[in-house]
Amino acid sequence: MHTRVPGASVMKRVLPRSLLGRSLLMILLPLVLLQAVALQIFYGSHLDLVSRRLSGGVTGEIAYTLDLMRQFPDDADRAWILRDANQRFDLTFSIDRGAILPNTKSVNILGPMDDDLTAALRQTFTVPFTTDWLSLPHSVLIRLQMPDGVLTVIAPRKRLYTGTIYLFVAWVVGTALLVFGIAALFMRNQVRAIRRLAAAADAFGRGRDIGAIKPEGATEVRQAASAFNRMQERIRRFLLQRTEMLAGVSHDLRTPLTRLKLALAMLPAGEETRQDVTEMQADVEEMDRMIGGYLAFARGEGAEQAEQVNLCLMLEEVAASARRAGADVSLDAPSALTLSLRVDAVRRAITNLVDNARRHARHVALAASPQGRAVLVTVDDDGPGISPERRESVFRPFESSEAGGTGLGLTIARDIVRAHGGEIVLEESPLGGLRARIRLPV
């Protein structure tokens, strides 16, 4: 019993499906995690510690200046104290006498600097204060409410945070992008070899002779490519040997059949033997057709190469040929449907289906239409049809066909269609008989 994990289907939809995407994700996730941990350690400990110390230093200098001003409340002394503080502390002090500190809301900025400065001021002073990080681009305005006015301190931002944070972030992001780019380049080359092997296997399965592929990529991928080349060569050699053997079988079988035909033709004519001779001639002709069908099925049209053809023109030729044989065939297809096909093989498969339909029906309807990334070809007839439980068995060699007889027509048709990466199924026809539906990939 399988337990469904919550969110598993969502993860499958989100995660990449390609090998390249998943490989890069396996590299990217640990890389991002490592950089995030490093940034958190620096940002959360070192930078926070430095920021607190810098804020404490600025706050201490302000507190020291205010203590001097309280000890020497004279105006002349205050002016001297502020001038000396401006020179020594790199801070700008000014007093707005009689002013009242406005009640403004503080705005947080990126980083711990504003929070650390506020915490240091709150810990040191009991009077109201405000900090403004936005009014000046390179300074911070600190205002404190004094008994006789508002003390304004302009502190340079460089005294409140360290500029190495930008260098560290640039180093983290830059190295991550560099490592990820190098990994993506290497993984792309490895996946390219796998894609080329998959394309070669698919083309070979569709009957296209692309020759041996060049082994490249990792050792395992090279081994797979070499194994594919050896398998491809063994299959070609097997097909060649089978064709040569069947050529000899054809010669051996057709010779005695020819002698039988001559012997039957030379028999003396007579009313008492005419029916027997006719039946024997029919048996010989049927044997001849069966042998021809077997040879064609065994050869499998293996020597023909795929090429770009207009399927609609081919269907018109098949329909015209059937009409010349006396069949009532209609055709419904667009003006152009271009596919990569083995022309003679596909023509023969469709011709077999049309011939099978016209032998058992008065009318045959041939149609073709694009269906997404495939083309749908249908052959409908108004014959007796086939019961659903027997539709699969008629594809077996020498099984009985729609209305009697044996042969290899449907077997050859399915073999050819599957060699092109398609499929053929039998269904009930809208005309009342049988429908043969062929799906060919574009």
Q: What is the pLDDT of residues 244-265, one digit of tens each?
A: 776 677 667 777 888 887 887 7
In one letter, which amino acid is 311?
A: L
Please name the residues in contact with 116: beta carbons below 8 A apart, sequence gap of 6 or more.
48, 51, 52, 54, 55
Q: What is the pLDDT of residue 251?
A: 67
The band of 6, judged by pLDDT with boundaries at 50, 70 and 90, is: low
> H or E element: which one contains 365?
strand 363-371
**Vertex 162 angle, CA 161 and 163, to 5°:** 120
Buried b (16+ CB within 10 A) or exposed e, 286-311: eebeebebbbbbbebbbebebeebeb
pLDDT at residue 118, as a whole number: 87
pLDDT in tens, 347-380: 888 888 888 888 888 899 999 988 888 889 999 9
How many Cβ atoms from other residues are within 10 Å of residue 357's Cβ? 28
**Identity at 305, one-letter amino acid code:** Q
Rounded Cα–Cα distance for residues 338 and 325 (Å): 27
Radius of gyration of the chain (CA): 44
The pTM is what? 0.50
pLDDT by residue (tens digit) across 135-186?
888 889 999 988 888 889 999 988 887 766 677 778 778 888 888 888 888 8
Please check the confidence at residue 4 and state whether its pLDDT lies above 60: no
Evaluate if residue 60 carries a pLDDT over 50.
yes
CA distance 138 to 160: 11
Average pLDDT of the segment spanning 21-35: 78
Question: Are 180 and 31 within 8 A, CB to CB?
Answer: yes
Tokens standing for 421? 């990466």
Strand order in the sheet with 92-97: 92-97, 149-156, 139-146, 129-132
Distance of CA 288 to the CA centre of its chain: 50
In 85-191, at which residue ranges do the beta strands (DSSP E only) sit?
Answer: 92-97, 129-132, 139-146, 149-156
pLDDT for 366: 92
pLDDT beyond 60 at 214: yes
Q: Which of 8-12, 141-145, 164-168, 305-309 has the highest mean pLDDT?
A: 141-145
DSSP 300-348: TTTTPPPEEEEHHHHHHHHHHHHHHTT-EEEEE--S--EEEE-HHHHHH
User: Is the model's pLDDT at 269 over the cut of 50?
Assistant: yes
Percent of the chain with pLDDT over 70: 84
| Cα angle value 225/226/231 (rounded, 5°) | 95
**First and final C-alpha spacing in the chain:** 40
Q: What distance in Å separates the CA atoms of residue 433 and residue 359, rounded to the nearest whole number?
A: 12
Give backbone dihedrals phi and psi of 245, rounded to 5 degrees, phi first.
-65, -45
Quickly state the pLDDT bin for 400 (edges 50, 70, 90).
very low
Q: Evaluate whether 426 touches 436 at the Cβ level (below 8 Å).
A: yes
The whole-number pLDDT of residue 437 equals 92
User: What domains are there in the chain, each with its CATH number?
Assistant: 19-162 (3.30.450), 219-299 (1.10.287.130), 307-441 (3.30.565.10)
User: Going by DSSP bridges, is the β-strand pair 363-371/328-332 parallel, antiparallel, or unpaired?
Assistant: parallel
